[in-house]
Amino acid sequence: MRRVTRFAAAGIATAALALSATACGASSTQSSGSSSSSGKGSLKVGIAYDVGGRGDHSFNDSAARGLDKATKEFGGTPKELTAKTTDTDQDREQYLDDLASNGYNPVIAVGFAYANALKAEAPKFPKTTFAIVDSVVPGSNIDSMSFATPESSYLAGVAAALKSKTGHIGFIGGVDNALIKGFQAGFQQGVTDTKPSDKVTVQYLSTGSDLSGFSSPDKGASAAAGMLSQGIDVVYSAAGSSGTGSIETVAAKKGAWAIGVDSDQYQDPALAKYKDSILTSAVKNVDVAVYDLIQSVHNGKPLTGNNTYNLANGGVSLATSGGFIKDIQPQLDAITKKIISGQIKVKQTP
Amino acid sequence: MKKFAKIDKDRLLLGIAAPVLAVVAALVVTALVLLATGKEPFKAFQIMVSYGFKSDSQVFILNEATTYYLAGLAVAIGFRMNLFNIGVDGQYRMGAFFGAVVGGMVTLPSFLEIPLIIVVSMVVAAAWSAIAGFLKVGRGVSEVIATIMLNSIATAVISYLLQPGRLAHLNSNTNSVYTTMLPKSAWFFTMTTNPAAGPIEGFIVIAVLAGVAYWFVLSRTRFGFDLRTVGQSESAAEASGVNVKKMIVTSMIISGALAGLVGMPALLNEAHTYSDEFPTGIGFIGIAVALLGRNHPVGIGIGALLWAFLDRTSNWLEFNGYDKEIVGVIQGVIVLCVVIAYEVVRRYGLGRQQRKVGEELAAAASLKTVEKAEVTA
């Protein structure tokens, strides 16, 4: 008796759920009006951050800066969503869908994790402009923003080689994925092109799908400590928030320099205590790209296709705040010109 | 007979009281938190409910709950044995990874390809879990410690192997690293609903079957009886002839094998590859879901649906200007409330039972004294 009722209960519950799913109820996307209804002055920018979101001191924050600047200038109401670590492509599709179907245009996906989701969603909303950072997704309504970070890393390598007294230089990578290996390649090339006898020691904090290397200041600190003890006196870390640990450690040693990444870390209030040891930063202007896109949509001529942000158009650069590289600026400028003209070919892989 | 039915009803009421109490308490706490942040709480609940019952939300919730349900079952098997398998997280990732690798290497007809991937995943996950089982019976290592450590090792192993040139490829356009795409024959079927809502993943059928199997094995077989006995009292089980060590290893293996199913909806129904964007942390959601469902197959189902509902609506809350973290607070508070409510209800039930037994004994004793008095008289 009991067994039968239990089975029946389970069966009915399942059937009811399945029925309710197939038959009744409007979908969330139907209820809200058509897409791309943005008139002038009512710019609705939708942005989906990667894990970490606004406040990560790294590239999500950079995207947020671009958004803030655009909002200030063009007005409108931005909508910000943030991914979680348990998200599947389905979840990420939903973020983009929620934004696009509620009339947000443009919709900006921060981070290559959104690539598959964007591939699925962009064709559904042909009138909405989408954008993705650090990835190339084909589509007539997609702005793929890639950054020539090896170029800025090359310049960082030149600066490191010119400033190092021991001739031994360190590179700390957050995770050994293709993106960070590009930083390493440019940096190493910059060092050896400048001073062929200099040695670059490379260390990664985590490998593959283990992304902890981007968010572990303790790992950054111990890697930097190890490098300092080997006589390394310039440390470049491309490791997200782990870099703060390495900067902190390097700052404790007199005469050693740290090189920052992504944003101008000399200006970062959280690192103000150590700023006198931050030689420069290889800046990746996600904010510029985000701002450009929003501006283009505002002007009615949305950017699409593959847009590379490099030294030539100021999408990546070497920060000068602090004035520590003022003495070598002419050399850096000359090399920048050579990279822009193609005279120096920067490697993408180590 | 009638008496049995009555006791059952009491138990059922008590059983339902705990989760209901927990959810209500969680809602009250969340409402207070929302008030403290200066937001209107009932509006938030209304937003969640109206969005959660949209047709595409229903589909999304069912799909998400499928994964959570399997994770909940995997954890619950351990719980019934008094084993805390925190390692479901590492187990399902190891299983799904090797399932994806093997599936990418061969192209077979669907009826062979899909079972092959599922079996590989279950075997790998079970083997990973068995390590903790053997460490416990052989060396007395707490399974809690062993499985936590094995989670980290699983992360490292997968990171090492999931590299271009080893077992994965690099998509230079999107910068993602992934295993060879599964052939079309490995794609699990989906059930179409209305086009705006999207398809329901076919793996929900497997999840329901797993639930039935879980119920049957635990409550209708000798093995299940032994397992529950060991869970209630190891020494009593030992005394009545149950090989406790064997039970520990076996149940860790079964828990691991179930964990091997957790990654399958994501692999066979969604991504068709194991990439560095494969979802992580589902094993921990499984712990919460199993707690919420009192290790009962139907309860776990409700827990999984509730969790998926909260997940789904969290996005929409954020969309409406509420802090997304609020849903994290609700989830955390629910788990806390569940643990407290179960304990409260358990004590209440125990007290009731004792009172009842006491009353019956007293009645019997007074009857006896009356009888005695009659005899002597």
Contacts (Cβ under 8 Å, ≥6 apart) of A174: A180, A204, A205, A206, A211, A213, A214, A237, A238, A239, A240, A242, A243
Q: Residue A3 pLDDT > 60, yes or no? A: no
| Cβ-contact A94, B63 below 8 angstroms | no
Interchain pair B54, A28: CB under 8 A: yes
Q: How far is B242 from chain A (nearest CA, A)?
A: 27
The model carries a pTM of 0.81
Provide the token pair at A140: 């007539």
* Separation CA A86–CA B285 (nearest Å): 10
Interchain pair B162, A30: CB under 8 A: no
Helix axis angle for B297-319 and B282-292, nearest 10°, is: 120
Interchain pair B278, A28: CB under 8 A: no
Query: Nearest CB to B159: which of A81, A115, A206?
Result: A206
* Separation CA B132–CA B146 (nearest Å): 5
| Cβ-contact B15, B341 below 8 angstroms | no
Query: Nearest CB to B280: which of A79, A86, A176?
Result: A86
Q: How far is A180 from chain B (nearest CA, A)?
A: 10
- Which DSSP string corresponds to A170-231? EEEEEE-SHHHHHHHHHHHHHHHHH-TT-EEEEEEEE-TT-GGGGS-HHHHHHHHHHHHHTT
Interchain pair B56, A82: CB under 8 A: no
Count CB neighbours of B42 within 10 A. 9
Interchain pair A10, B170: CB under 8 A: no
Shortest CA distance from A22: residue in chain B: B193
Interchain pair A208, B200: CB under 8 A: no
CA dihedral A336, A276, A217, A115 (to 10 degrees): -30
What band does A200 get if pLDDT is binned at 50, 70 and 90? very high
Q: How far is A113 from chain B (nearest CA, A)?
A: 6
Task: Please report residues of A whose CB lies closer than 8 A to that of B279.
Answer: 85-88
Query: Nearest CB to B176: which of A22, A102, A112?
Result: A112
Q: Residue holding tokens 């703060």?
A: A244
Q: Which of A200, A100, A211, A105 is nearest to B162 (CA)?
A: A211
Task: Please report residues of B whose CB lies closer than 8 A to that of A94.
Answer: 60, 315
Task: Please report residues of B whose CB lies closer than 8 A to that of A10.
Answer: 211, 297-298, 301
- Which DSSP string corresponds to B102-156? HHHH----HHHHHHHHHHHHHHHHHHHHHHHHHHHHHH---HHHHHHHHHHHHHH
Interchain pair A21, B62: CB under 8 A: yes
A-B Cβ pairs (cutoff 8 Å, strict): 143
Residues 165-224 of A with CB under 8 A from B: 176-179, 206-211
Interchain pair A27, B56: CB under 8 A: yes
Interchain pair A178, B170: CB under 8 A: yes
Instruction: State yes or no: cis peptide before A78, omega within 30 of 0.
Output: no
Shortest CA distance from A50: residue in chain B: B277
A28 and B CB contact within 8 Å: yes
Interchain pair B54, A177: CB under 8 A: no
Shortest CA distance from A306: residue in chain B: B173
Residue A46: strand pairing partners: A79, A107
Query: Nearest CB to B281: which of A25, A28, A85?
Result: A85
- Which DSSP string corresponds to A279-341? EEEEEE-HHHHHHHHHHHHHTT----EEEEE-TTTTSEEE--TTSTTGGGHHHHHHHHHHHHH
What is the structure's pLDDT at A31? Answer: 41
What band does A339 get if pLDDT is binned at 50, 70 and 90? very high
Interchain pair B194, A27: CB under 8 A: yes
Side chain identity, residue A342: G
Backbone angles phi, psi at B226, to 5 degrees: -60, -45
DSSP 8-state class, residue B182: P
Task: Please report residues of A whose CB lies closer than 8 A to that of B197.
Answer: 21, 27
Backbone angles phi, psi at A104, to 5 degrees: -75, 135
Shortest CA distance from A78: residue in chain B: B319
Q: Which of A60, A46, A151, A52 is nearest to A99 (CA)?
A: A46
Contacts (Cβ under 8 Å, ≥6 apart) of A12: none
Query: Nearest CB to A208: which of B177, B191, B281?
Result: B177
Task: Please report residues of B whose CB lies closer than 8 A to that of A116.
Answer: 174, 176, 271, 277
Cα A200–A201–A206 angle (5° rounding)? Answer: 135
Pick the CATH number of B65-321 from 1.10.3470, 3.40.1000, 1.10.1200, 1.20.144: 1.10.3470
Query: Nearest CB to B158: which of A6, A86, A208?
Result: A208
A86 and B CB contact within 8 Å: yes
* Separation CA A103–CA A127 (nearest Å): 10
Task: Please report residues of A whose CB lies closer than 8 A to that of B319.
Answer: 79, 81, 98, 102
What is the structure's pLDDT at A23? Answer: 39
Strand A107-109, strand A46-49: pairing: parallel
Question: Which one of A7, A88, A114 would you mutate to disrupt binding with B, by most B Cβ within 10 Å of its Cβ?
Answer: A88
What is the structure's pLDDT at A19? Answer: 44
Q: How far is A162 from chain B (nearest CA, A)?
A: 32
* Separation CA B185–CA B112 (nearest Å): 9
Q: Which of A347, A342, A350, A317 is nearest to A332 (CA)?
A: A317
Q: For residue range A30-54, what is the model confidence (pLDDT) as tens digits?
A: 444 333 444 445 789 999 998 778 8
Task: Please report residues of A whose CB lies closer than 8 A to that of B156.
Answer: 207, 210
Task: Give the pLDDT mean for A330-348.
Answer: 93
pLDDT averaged per 10 residues, chain B (length 377)? 56 78 86 86 88 89 95 95 94 97 94 96 97 95 95 92 87 82 92 82 95 95 92 90 93 96 94 88 93 91 93 84 79 84 85 87 81 67
Q: How far is B271 from chain A (nearest CA, A)?
A: 7
Q: How far is B174 from chain A (nearest CA, A)?
A: 4
Domain boundaries, chain B: 1-39+324-377, 65-321
* Separation CA A59–CA A75 (nearest Å): 23
Provide the token pair at A158: 């030149």
Provide the token pair at A174: 């957050």
What is the structure's pLDDT at A24? Answer: 46
A51 and B CB contact within 8 Å: no
A124 and B CB contact within 8 Å: no
Higher pLDDT residue, A95 or A5? A95
Q: For residue range A248-281, what is the model confidence (pLDDT) as tens digits?
A: 999 999 999 999 998 888 988 888 999 999 999 9
Provide the token pair at B296: 């009962």
Query: Nearest CB to A17: which of B62, B158, B297?
Result: B62
What is the structure's pLDDT at A82? Answer: 87
Contacts (Cβ under 8 Å, ≥6 apart) of B344: B18, B21
Shortest CA distance from B53: residue in chain A: A25
Shortest CA distance from A133: residue in chain B: B174
What is the structure's pLDDT at A25? Answer: 54
What is the structure's pLDDT at A37? Answer: 40
Domains and CATH numbers, chain A: 35-147+285-315 (3.40.50.2300), 149-283+320-341 (3.40.50.2300)
Contacts (Cβ under 8 Å, ≥6 apart) of A101: A28, A29, A32, A35, A125
Calculate the alpha carbon distances from A45 to A21, A28, A141, B154 in Å: 31, 19, 15, 40
Interchain pair A28, B164: CB under 8 A: no
Question: Which one of B56, B212, B323, B324 would you mutate to disrupt binding with A, by most A Cβ within 10 Å of its Cβ?
Answer: B56
